[in-house]
Structure 1
Amino acid sequence: MLLVFPERSPAVRAASHAHDDELGAVLEVTDVAPVAVPHRIRGRAWVSGWLTRVSVRAAPGTATLRLETGDVSVDDLWGTEAVEAEEFAAAEPDPLAEHEAELLQHLAAAHGSEVQLLRGLLGERTGARWAAGTVAVPLALDRFGLRVRFVGMRTFDARFDFPEPVTGVGGLRRAMRTLFEAAAG
């Protein structure tokens, strides 16, 4: 991983004086939901390894450090898991990741009633006593489906899988239409 820091940052100074990859580091990434919802932290990831300075300069006044990956672990809505460094390096970005925040905000603002109807797809698992006053908030979106947080007397998350993985926003429109039609029908 290449990380860009201000030239005078402590990380750059430490990496500049380190020898033979002796500067261990841990990068912690926190994923916060882009919509207003209780318990907004969707996950955390930790990437540990060794920092070295590289000659690539991103912009004036900055320095680039390389984090050679040793260990990666993820704790998110789906559970806690260690990820192999090779698997991490070979991972392809989700085609919706770049637009996820704006898509979730759009779903919450413009399609709240349709998102609310998705609760009907859960059947009796959620119980009728939690139905009154429950608000549905789109929480996470990826090529495989949509996660919704239902907030009411009992707060819980539900995952709604798409019939097939989507490859972009066009496929997402079709997948969401299919979900909404199933919930309305």
Structure 2
Amino acid sequence: MPSAAERTRTLVQSTCSGVLLSPGVHGALPDHLVADERTVGPDGEVYLVFPADSPVVRAATHAQDDELPAVLEITDVAPVSVPHRIRGRAWISGWLTRAPGLAEPGRMALRLEVGETSVDDLWGAESVEPEEFARAVADPLAPYEAELLQHLHAAHEDQVQLLTALLGRRSAVPGRAVPVALDRYGLRVRFVGERDGYAGERGGATFDARFDFPEPVRDVVGLRRAMHRLFEAAAH
């Protein structure tokens, strides 16, 4: 399974929604707390780009001792329609300072020095040390995950449903199979109990099943091979 540090790093470097919270920023609209860009530096610091006149930049500019305490909260939502769509959250807390010269005119980059990190997702809740976060590498499939899951759900629904055959005793549980998460180690499918159609949240048996690949994949080409083998195993 991916480590907590890898999962957190993947969320930070993804396109998931991220809001910057700070006691030094008052009265800002939620949209003003969302960075235009989000990247991770070589030492594990997080760079956030905002409009130069944003409340966050003003607060960082006038912060005492030139450091503004802040928390970056990231929310991960499944890119397919499924009950309980929030797949996880991550929190990166630390100190915010201006980083002039790293953004184009009219914008300002802010540097978040990481102090504490935690993640609560489909794997569980864990804390991550700053050093672990700095060393971790984001999942290579993360840039393509949303598109791949949507493609699986729309074009290969019957094959995903066949994975029920690999569930053993749980294969007798009726439900619709929805691919809900994908990483280099495997595919997670949510089996949504059907009651009055697609109504898993109304009392049907809903559960997740994890289908691990024989070995971690490195790219989309390796993923295609791994998925082909997985579907072949389910069909036989």
TM-score range, shorter chain: over 0.9
**% identical aligned pairs:** 71
Paired residues for 1:49-88 under 5 Å: 49-88=94-133
Confirm or deny: 8 A CA contact 1:21 1:50 kept in the other structure: no
Equivalent residue number for residue 73 of structure 2: 28
**In 1, Cα distance between the equivalents of 2:118 and 2:130?**
10
Equivalent residue number for residue 149 of structure 1: 190
Please, what is the CA RMSD of the aligned residues? 1.1
Secondary structure of the residue that 1:149 maps to in structure 2?
strand
Equivalent residue number for residue 161 of structure 1: 212
Quick check: 1:4 aligned with 2:61? no
Q: Return closer, same or farther for 1:49/1:91 CA change in 2, 3 Å cut-off.
A: same
Task: Provide the aligned length of Structure 1 versus Structure 2.
Answer: 181
Secondary structure of the residue that 2:105 maps to in structure 1?
coil
Confirm or deny: 8 A CA contact 2:67 2:95 kept in the other structure: yes
Give structure 2 stretches of 5+ with no counterpart. 1-45, 194-203
Equivalent residue number for residue 179 of structure 1: 230
CA offsets 1:106-161 (integer angstroms, 9 cap, x no match)? 1001111111111110110x262x22xx1100000000000001101211111100
Q: Return closer, same or farther for 1:127/1:101 CA change in 2, 3 Å cut-off.
A: closer
Secondary structure of the residue that 1:20 maps to in structure 2?
helix
**In 2, Cα distance between the equivalents of 1:72 and 1:37?**
28
**In 1, Cα distance between the equivalents of 2:140 and 2:171?**
35
Q: Could you tell me how far 1:60 is from its partner in structure 2? A: 2.6
**In 2, Cα distance between the equivalents of 1:156 and 1:56?**
49
**In 1, Cα distance between the equivalents of 2:162 and 2:182?**
17
Equivalent residue number for residue 63 of structure 2: 18
1:74 corresponds to which letter in structure 2? V
TM-score scaled to structure 2, two decimals?
0.75
Secondary structure of the residue that 1:121 maps to in structure 2?
helix
Q: Return closer, same or farther for 1:81/1:70 CA change in 2, 3 Å cut-off.
A: same
Q: Could you tell me how far 1:8 is from its partner in structure 2? A: 1.2
TM-score scaled to structure 1, two decimals?
0.95
